[in-house]
Amino acid sequence: MPLTARLKTWLGPRWTTRARCVLRGLPIPWWGNLRRTHPFSSYFGFERGTPVDRYYLAHFLDAHRADITGDVLEVQVGDITRRYGHQVRRSDTIDIEPQFHPTWCCDLATADTIIPDDHYDCFILPNTLSFLRDLDACLRQALRVVRPGGVVLGTTAVLGQMNGDGKDYWHLSAEGWQVVAERVWPGCNVTVRAYGNCLSATAAVMGLATEELTTAELDVMDPKFPVLVGICCRKPVA
Ligand SMILES: C[S@@+](CC[C@H](N)C(=O)[O-])C[C@H]1O[C@@H](n2cnc3c(N)ncnc32)[C@H](O)[C@@H]1O
């Protein structure tokens, strides 16, 4: 057996990797208390501060303030319409769960007999897309209820924690959401943007809060590590 093979056998896989990193000048991780199989928070970091994906949600909504106007529909409650909207004429809500007292209490996938066509200027689905079981039907309905020239604004978590209640279905990459958008919204002007990097993704998985990272760290955008994807679909006028 050659000398290197004998050395590897003697060292075992763990120390072989350590030796390889040292010899090649590759950095050695210092895990500290990150070496754990349970996160710091199992509730997205809410009890510590602001969940990391919420930082990127704010980023996305800030960029789309101009679109949140007129007659606005929002999933669950109208918080985002209140915070980011301007010249809002009507603020309505939709949810499948009656506990949120929505304007429209129904499954979005089958809202065609409930919400009229071309009824809103803006429909906001904040951190919702991964929870829509019948995804294509829901997204088609979302476009139907928006007026020509109006927008559907949706965001969804990608890397991070699953909801854990068995109702978290779709964690797609930005490219995956682009494919879905082309399928359900043909002929629309759609932009898909990914937010996050390997550090913020690690923090999101571990349940750490936005406040535990710096703005400079959060603002590095690396499409290989999307924490959140934001989608804007504008309905054609003609
Ligand atoms: C994570 S919440 C998103 C909104 C929340 N304000 C936020 O910022 O996290 C997702 C909401 O979508 C609702 N939902 C899930 N599937 C739905 C469907 N098919 N039709 C209508 N609402 C649905 C859920 O009941 C839940 O209240």
The pLDDT score that the predictor gives to residue 163 is 87
Q: Which pLDDT band, with edges at 50, 70 and 90, does 19 fall under?
A: very high
- pLDDT of residue 36 exceeding 90: yes
Among residues 40, 35, 56, 46, which one has the least CA distance to residue 206? 40
The set of protein residues with a Cβ atom below 6 angstroms from ligand 1 is 75-77, 94-97, 100, 107-109, 126-128, 131-132, 138
Atom of ligand 1 nearest to the CA of 79: 6
Atom of ligand 1 nearest to the CA of 163: 1
Interatomic CA distance for residues 84 and 101, integer angstroms: 21
39-234 CATH: 3.40.50.150
State the Cα angle at 146 between 145 and 152, rounded to 5°.
115
What's the 109 CA to ligand 1 centre distance in angstroms? 12
Interatomic CA distance for residues 227 and 149, integer angstroms: 29
Residues 57-89 pLDDT 10s: 999 999 999 999 999 999 999 999 999 999 999
What's the 107 CA to ligand 1 centre distance in angstroms? 10
The pLDDT score that the predictor gives to residue 106 is 97
Could you tell me if 85 and 124 are in contact, meaning their C-beta atoms sit under 8 angstroms apart? no
Domain ranges of the chain: 1-30, 39-234
Residue of minimum CA distance from atom 26 in ligand 1: 76
Pocket probe for ligand 1: among 55, 56, 76, 97, the residue whose CB has the most ligand atoms within 8 Å is: 76
Tell me 229's DSSP state. Answer: E
Average pLDDT, the chain: 96
Residues whose CB is less than 8 angstroms from the CB of residue 4 and which lie 6 or more positions away in sequence, other chains included? none
Atom of ligand 1 nearest to the CA of 108: 20
What's the 117 CA to ligand 1 centre distance in angstroms? 21
What's the 130 CA to ligand 1 centre distance in angstroms? 9
Residue of minimum CA distance from atom 9 in ligand 1: 127
- pLDDT of residue 197 exceeding 80: yes
Half-sphere exposure of 91 (CA within 13 A, CB side): 15
Atom of ligand 1 nearest to the CA of 76: 27
Residues 84-120 pLDDT 10s: 999 999 999 999 999 999 999 999 999 999 999 999 9
Average of per-residue pLDDT across 7-36? 95
Interatomic CA distance for residues 27 and 22, integer angstroms: 8
Residue of minimum CA distance from atom 8 in ligand 1: 126
The residue behind tokens 């991964």 is 130
